[in-house]
């Protein structure tokens, strides 16, 4: 039972082939990060133009890597939303054409469900080594942390979800992006902040944790503002090059005209700021997750989404959770088509297929 899946909801063009909902035969991801880097975020029109060009080469490479031909493909799956409309359009129309041309069932998948199902996947290397962990056991708790979403979702069976809490302002990934911009660390922010925080003192700055008592909701905008204020105290204006960057690019010290102005530019303790910011953000995620897991008596906790790649989040959850928890390898944390194929598998088994009139759903909900 092989599903071919396409994912183009944001800035990755990805095509995957997955067997039985778990075994990755191919998972080709063409990242557009360099294309959007200079804008500090994804530009939908550029993303879409790139998807139109990349879709067929990625498709071709996935088929080659999986060593499959069309008769061995049982269904075509695609992300129908949520995501950027111009980007979603490319994948959805491509998938429909494949399904039509080759007479395959069409399965539209919610991108967030895809992230959840990334934890069902068995990476190629693990499968080759005979390392095949059992499927996640219900009821389970999902912590989905990505650039656009931060959600705690209770799952009692395939396709059965209950939203326990979500962010009321910035998503965790978004907060990392903003922090990276404030600290002059580049894009994408999550890996940049994590890298910068290495060797930093996470206790040097006490940034606020918005606990939002009595709910499982999150809030990260206060944390971002606190970081910005702290940086400004150092006489550095956000989005301008920070002093250590200037020194790097200008080399030898020369009398600075800045010395004449009253604001004293002290050297910005980037590592300590990044580490303290990361600690505050991870604290909030961990506390809520641990509390929800206990209240609902789940058997497992699954972490998914781009921020699931964060090492501090992983180690803190491991310390705090008394039950098994799992997270995907880094390549399956960010957007990829293998997770879409995994989520499509239960839809296929329950004959939840779509017809050729399927549309994109840029604000699709799954709960």
- CB closer to other proteins out of 98 and 223: 98
Q: What is the 3-state secondary structure (H, E, C) of the chain?
A: CEEEEEECCCCEEEEEEEECCCEEEEEEEEECHHHHHCCCCCCHHHHHHHHHHHHHHHHHHHHHHHCCCHHHCCEEEEEEECCCHHHHHHHHHHHHHHHHHHCCCEEEEEHHHHHHHHHHCECHHHHHCCCCCCCCCCCEEEEEECCCCEEEEEEEECCEEEEEEEECCCCHHHHHHHHHHHCCCCCCHHHHHHHHHCCCCCCCCCCCCCCCCCCCCECCHHHHHHHHHHHHHCCCCCCCCCHHHHHHHHCCCCCCHHHHCCCCCCCCCHHHHHHHHHHHHHHHHHHHHHHHHHHHCCCEEEEECHHHHCHHHHHHHHHHCCCCEECCCHHHHCCCHHHHHHHHHHHHHCCCCECCCCCCCCCCCCC
CB of 79 to other proteins, least distance (A): 14
Partner that binds at residue 90, options Zn ion, other proteins, none, CB closer than 5 to 8 Å by kind: other proteins
Instruction: Give how many residues touch Zn ion by CB under 5 A.
Output: 2
Partner that binds at residue 129, options Zn ion, other proteins, none, CB closer than 5 to 8 Å by kind: none
* CA dist., res. 77 & res. 66, Å (int): 16
Contact 344, 107 (CB under 8 A): yes
CB of 55 to other proteins, least distance (A): 7
- CB closer to Zn ion out of 219 and 334: 334
- CB closer to other proteins out of 53 and 125: 53
- CB closer to other proteins out of 94 and 280: 94
Instruction: Summarize as ranges the residues that interact with other proteins (CB under 8 A).
Output: 45, 48-49, 51-53, 55-57, 59-60, 70, 85-86, 89-98, 100-103, 355-360
Partner that binds at residue 359, options Zn ion, other proteins, none, CB closer than 5 to 8 Å by kind: other proteins
Partner that binds at residue 94, options other proteins, Zn ion, none, CB closer than 5 to 8 Å by kind: other proteins
- CB closer to other proteins out of 81 and 165: 81
User: Which stretch, 26-34, 183-191, 328-336, 358-366, contacts Zn ion (CB under 5 A)?
Assistant: 328-336
> Which residues between 87 and 146 bind Zn ion (CB under 5 A)?
146
Residue 38's Cα: distance from chain center in Å?
20
Binds Zn ion (CB under 5 A): choice among 12, 177, 335, 361: 335
Partner that binds at residue 221, options Zn ion, other proteins, none, CB closer than 5 to 8 Å by kind: none
Partner that binds at residue 335, options Zn ion, other proteins, none, CB closer than 5 to 8 Å by kind: Zn ion
CB of 85 to other proteins, least distance (A): 8
User: Which stretch, 79-87, 96-104, 330-338, 355-363, contacts Zn ion (CB under 5 A)?
Assistant: 330-338
> Which residues between 140 and 199 bind Zn ion (CB under 5 A)?
146
CB of 56 to other proteins, least distance (A): 4
List residues binding Zn ion (CB under 5 A). Answer: 146, 335
């Amino acid at each position: 039972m092989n599903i071919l899946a396409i994912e183009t909801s944001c800035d990755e063009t990805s095509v995957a082939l997955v067997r039985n909902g778990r075994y990755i035969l191919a998972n080709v991801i063409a990242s557009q990060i360099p294309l959007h880097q200079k804008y500090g975020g994804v530009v939908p029109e550029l993303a879409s133009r790139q998807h139109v060009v990349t879709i067929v080469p990625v498709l071709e490479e996935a088929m080659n890597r999986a060593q499959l031909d069309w008769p061995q493909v049982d269904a075509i799956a695609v992300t129908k939303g949520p995501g950027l409309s111009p980007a979603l359009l490319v994948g959805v129309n491509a998938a429909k054409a494949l399904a039509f041309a080759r007479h395959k069932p069409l399965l539209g998948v919610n991108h967030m469900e895809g992230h959840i199902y990334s934890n069902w996947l068995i990476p190629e290397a693990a499968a080759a080594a005979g390392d095949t962990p059992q499927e996640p056991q219900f009821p389970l708790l999902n912590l989905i942390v990505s650039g656009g979403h931060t959600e705690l979702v209770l799952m009692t069976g395939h396709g059965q979800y209950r939203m326990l809490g979500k962010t009321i302002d910035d998503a965790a990934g978004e907060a990392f992006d903003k922090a990276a911009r404030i600290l002059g660390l580049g894009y994408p922010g999550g890996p940049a902040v994590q890298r910068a925080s290495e060797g930093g003192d996470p206790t040097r700055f006490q940034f606020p944790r918005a606990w939002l008592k009595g709910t499982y909701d999150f809030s990260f905008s206060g944390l971002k503002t606190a970081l910005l204020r702290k940086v400004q105290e150092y006489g550095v204006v956000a989005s301008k090059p920070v002093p250590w960057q200037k020194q790097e690019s200008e080399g030898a010290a020369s009398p600075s005209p800045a010395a004449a102005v009253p604001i004293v530019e002290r050297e910005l303790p980037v590592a300590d700021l990044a580490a303290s910011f990361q600690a505050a953000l991870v604290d909030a995620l961990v506390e809520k997750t641990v509390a929800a897991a206990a209240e609902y008596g789940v058997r497992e906790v699954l972490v998914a989404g781009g921020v699931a790649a964060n090492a501090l989040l992983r180690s803190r959850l491991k310390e705090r959770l008394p039950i098994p928890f799992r997270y995907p390898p880094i390549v399956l944390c960010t957007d990829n088509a293998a997770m879409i194929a995994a989520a499509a598998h239960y839809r296929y088994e329950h004959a939840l297929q779509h017809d050729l009139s399927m549309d994109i759903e840029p604000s699709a909900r799954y709960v």
